[in-house]
Amino acid sequence: MFHRIRGFPIPLEGPPSCWHSPLLSSIIVRMDEKDQVTYAADILSIKDAQRRIGPYIHQTPVLTSGSLDSLAGKQLFFKCECFQKGGAFKIRGASNAIFSLEDDQVAKGVVTHSSGNHAAAVALAAKLRGIPAYIVIPKNAPKCKVDNVKRYGGQIIWSETTIHSRETTASKVQQETGAVLVHPFNDKRIISGQGTISLELLEQIPEIDLIIVPISGGGLISGVTLAAKAINPSIRILAAEPRGADDAAQSKAAGKIVKLPHTNTIADGLRAFLGDLTWPVVRDLVDDIIIVDDREIVEAMRLCYEILKVAVEPSGAIGLAAVLSDQFLNNAAWKSCKKVGIILSGGNVDLSVLWESFST
């Protein structure tokens, strides 16, 4: 579990001699209850999630590229959640949430709302558990992601494109069916499941000193941050966010959750807003947020495809876009960071235009 001592995150796991904090090496600070901040997940819940979901997920590989290292001036390590079951990291949180429920709780199934990757993950995890999945999907969701939900047997209910419509439609389905809601990000079980990425990545490449993570509702970055900083309190965590949906950056600047009246970005998976469980982690422990334009995201997708030979969706490529951005490259705060982990969060990109071009 993380607490803060004078603003510094301390992992309360093991005796004080195991707390590798430069702050604690020189002073002893008494923690009063008013100084403690408890987050929705911790290293113990994340390790529990790792044990629970092990049979249902892939341990994804880490790729490297000398060419991309040269562009960034850093050693880059790409955690390929695009190779995960369902094509994205979301199966980690979804399977942890669904398999942590008792049989009587899920007898009537589960319900969620999502623009795609979480929807498919819940449908797949429910299929693995043998229960119904009711999936509320906005009408503008990418076809490839809708097809995944159908492939895994999810029962699709359409909503309008707004977050409000998604949430109210899901609430109505929940009332009608008695299904359990599996929230896309604002759920401690989801956060814990996503945090298993850090456990894997830092076992594969222990010397990583900075991780760049896509940010939307905050479930992924919360889990990754809590696990990574429990393992190595000095590690830096940066969020990558599209300019057309920069609510997280605005929230950090304002010191409170900011919700935008509308979003406009090619990164369809990054249009949600922070929740009350994810915001405290972003507020306290995420070191900074890098904002990139859609054109930078598209360029990063191209580089992933041409150099890494990996198809990555816009939301998944944003970490590479961030590390190549002027905002990152010209910031002296990151000069000392030499080994950078980048989460390629998903690979469910709609390639229909590409395939159609071959038939003309």
CA 222, 307, 328 angle in degrees (round to 5)? 45
- Catalytic-role residue among 90, 188, 229, 252: 90
- Catalytic-role residue among 45, 100, 114, 115: 115
Q: Under a CB-based contact definition with an 8 Å cutoff, are residues 133 and 199 in contact?
A: no
> Is 90 an active-site residue?
yes
| Residues marked as catalytic | 90, 115
